[in-house]
Amino acid sequence: MQPLGESTEDYLEKILMLSERNGYVRSIDLARELGFSKPSISIAMRKLSDKGYVIMGDDKEIRLTEEGRKAAEHTYERHKTLTRLLTILGVNKDTAAEDACRIEHDISEETFDRIREFTERQGG
């Protein structure tokens, strides 16, 4: 999958996570979760909509398009796998999740594939 940029990946991943947790996502939910202002979220959602990653419904809900969902799932898989690797290495879960968020954007597909294989062999 082609890298989308850290900000785009973070937004899509968070939309996916909120959608799975709450069943819906609104701008205010993203603003609270990410610590950004509602106007900043609106600008970002407009850009993601223009790129074809999200659809803003008349009901003010944010929905991932098929392409947006694929990108979000790809990033979220990286996040979960890297968090698992770091916990295997003895890093506490909160720190592992924070560090995984930073790492997930910067490693190659080849490196990620090897990490995924390793964590699977470890029972994760």
Q: pLDDT (tens digit, 9 = 90+) per residue, 80-94?
A: 999 999 999 999 999
Question: Given this model, what pLDDT does residue 60 score?
Answer: 85
And the tokens for 46?
């407009």
* In contact, 12 and 55? CB cutoff 8 Å: no
Q: Mean pLDDT, to the nearest integer, of 52-73?
A: 93
Q: In the chain, where does the domain assigned CATH 1.10.10.10 lie?
A: 6-65
Q: Is 50 exposed, middle or buried (0-12, 13-18, 19+ CB in 10 A)?
A: exposed
Give residue 3's pLDDT band: very low, low, confident or very high (50, 70, 90): low
Assess if CATH 3.50.50.60 describes domain 71-121. no
**pTM for the structure as a whole:** 0.83
* In contact, 63 and 54? CB cutoff 8 Å: yes
Q: Mean pLDDT, to the nearest integer, of 45-64?
A: 92
pLDDT at 108 over 60: yes
pLDDT at 53 over 90: yes
Residues paired with residue 26 on neighbouring β-strands, in sequence order: 61
Tell me the fold of 6-65: Arc Repressor Mutant, subunit A (1.10.10)
Q: In the chain, where does the domain assigned CATH 1.10.60.10 lie?
A: 71-121
Question: Given this model, what pLDDT does residue 124 score?
Answer: 56
pLDDT at 1 over 60: no
